[in-house]
Amino acid sequence: MLSLKEKDRPIVRKLLCAGCCARCVLRFCCVGTSSAYRRSYQDLRKELLAFISEESSPQSLSEEKTDAPPNKRMRIDEDPVTPAQTDSDICPVCLGVLQDFCDPTFTKQVSDAVKKQQYEFDSLVLTVSLPTQMSVREHSCWLHVKKEVREKSMCLGKEDVIQVKDAFKWAVQGKIGQELGAAVVANCPCEVSVGFIHPETEDCHFLANTCPDCFKPTKNKASIFTRMAVVKALEKISEEKFSRHYVCPPKTANTRCTALDTTCLHTSIFIAGRYSKFSRELPQTPWVIDGERRMHGSVEELIAAPLLSSFRADGFNFSSSGREDVDVRTLGNGQPFAVELLNPHRAKFNRNEIKQLQEKINQSSDKIRVRDLQIITREATSRMKEGEEKKTKTYSAFIWTQKAIDSTDLEFLANIKDLRIAQKTPLRVLHRRPLAVRQRLIHSMSTIYLDKHHFTLKLCTQAGTYIKEFVHGDFGRTIPNLCDLMKTDADILELDVESVDVDWPPALPD
């Protein structure tokens, strides 16, 4: 039995006379029991017709007295509801969504579409998109019902009406979940989207004239009649002005809604780890100059390819705590990195499977090695960038000097602590970095004498320091520089990153 009361009888009658479908009648009677919407459409309609044909029994009148004072009891409208008034093919409010798309045939169609996309999940959230003009028809029907209840000294707030989206979800989500073997919940990484469109858009046009400030063209929108704009206009327009421009109840539509293709989307999965790079001919990201690819492969591609394949993701975004040059090796514990996997079709991996995935990456190339691979949250990725200016990096540089030197010429460098330098954006990266002067610290330096023109320089610096430019000066753009300190021209022949001193991601046991 439907949870309808005596006071609902004239509303049911009025809505059926207006051609509303059975589920829309329940919505405007504020029936919030989800099981009512799961019943077959034929059973609902049959029970509503029986409900309005009943005489007001003493029992029903007694129930009404408990709900409201006697002066608020609504008079029962005795006008009959004729088949011509109730058997409209298309509901003028939901445009057929709650009539034609809540049956097992459509839920099977949705479930089959999801299965075809081969996602792996044990729960999902169902989202629904509706034609914008449905908001106008909903508003019109609400004013129509509101007039009826106002005459009976009752009130019906728009927020009291069950939304079409909610009614549709209540009707179908249980069946969809059963077909897919998954729980349908309110919040979940895996989203199944069902959408509807309707060709008749003229319902919204009068709002552009009555509330022009709500409708402003935007570059990214094909139409000014967006859902937000229409809702804003409906909140602004007065009931009297709305009724002058739009009929209440809404007129019958000529066509039904059409269902769009069912789509699935899984929220991104984030993978973190550290990589070491052993090649001086491997860029961190694909190297493209003037539209032409230079060098084969990159660190991000070597790491991402196995991840994309295993998670069956549509794409990825790669980020790291720093960006070493193509000819710079990254040694020690490696460079922290994070990979965002877009729309993964598989999301659950245990620790052993992630470890096997790490080995797969390491076996794919001898140019890199990955460690501490793990799944993290989106929020955890921010820790990689936290304290960007405060973290330190340790480097080892192979230096050439124009002037002949001996070991005593290098001793003074070890005594320099926290040397502050000013670095203009290097010429070699000026095409992709804004021109600026950056203050950086060289915390400490030590040296290993090799021969009269070569030595190894070890540096501990503030992250973000351009080491090559500190050595050769970059035509005076880095001040002071090693050339200034040693009073000779110098250049860097090889550079290695020996450590990145950031405690992220958490180290894992081997």
For the chain, what are the domain ranges?
Answer: 6-203+246-266, 274-388, 391-500
Lowest mean pLDDT among 65-74, 190-199, 344-353: 65-74
3-class SS at 21? coil
- What is the pLDDT at residue 152? 60
* DSSP class per residue in 143-189: HHHHHHHHHTT----GGGSPPHHHHHHHHHHHHHHHHHT-EE-SS-S
Name the pLDDT band for 387 (thresholds 50, 70, 90): low
CA distance 335 to 64: 73
Beta bridge partner(s), residue 460: 394, 444
- What is the pLDDT at residue 60? 42
Higher pLDDT, 293 or 421: 421
CA distance 434 to 424: 10
Supply the CATH classification number for the domain 274-388: 3.30.70.2510
Round the average pLDDT of the chain to a whole number and report it: 89
- What is the pLDDT at residue 71? 35
Residue 76 has pLDDT above 80, yes or no: no
Q: Count the neighbouring beta carbons within 10 Å of the beta carbon of residue 312.
A: 16
CA distance 117 to 403: 67
Over residues 417-423, the mean pLDDT reads 97
For 467-507, write each residue's pLDDT tens digit: 999 999 999 999 999 999 999 999 999 999 999 998 899 99
Lowest mean pLDDT among 26-40, 74-88, 247-261, 309-323: 74-88
Yes or no: say if 472 and 397 are a contact pair by the CB < 8 Å rule: no
Name the pLDDT band for 208 (thresholds 50, 70, 90): confident
Taking alpha carbons only, the member of 238, 433, 269, 397 closest to residue 338 is: 269
Active site residues: 325
CATH topology of domain 391-500: Alpha-Beta Plaits (3.30.70)
CA atoms within 13 A on the CB side of 50: 9
- What is the pLDDT at residue 148? 76
Over residues 42-57, the mean pLDDT reads 84
Residue 224 has pLDDT above 90, yes or no: no
Residue 302 has pLDDT above 90, yes or no: yes
* DSSP class per residue in 212-236: GGG----TT-S-S--HHHHHHHHHH
Backbone angles phi, psi at 346, to 5 degrees: -125, 135
Q: Count the neighbouring beta carbons within 10 Å of the beta carbon of residue 491.
A: 15
Higher pLDDT, 484 or 433: 484
Taking alpha carbons only, the member of 93, 162, 175 closest to residue 126 is: 175
- What is the pLDDT at residue 158? 84
For 111-129, write each residue's pLDDT tens digit: 999 999 999 999 999 999 9
pTM listed for this prediction: 0.84
Pairing, β 490-501 against β 328-342: parallel
Beta bridge partner(s), residue 401: 490
Backbone angles phi, psi at 67, to 5 degrees: -85, -30
Residues 6+ away with beta carbon under 8 Å from 94: 21, 23, 24, 134, 164, 257
Q: Is 91 exposed, middle or buried (0-12, 13-18, 19+ CB in 10 A)?
A: buried
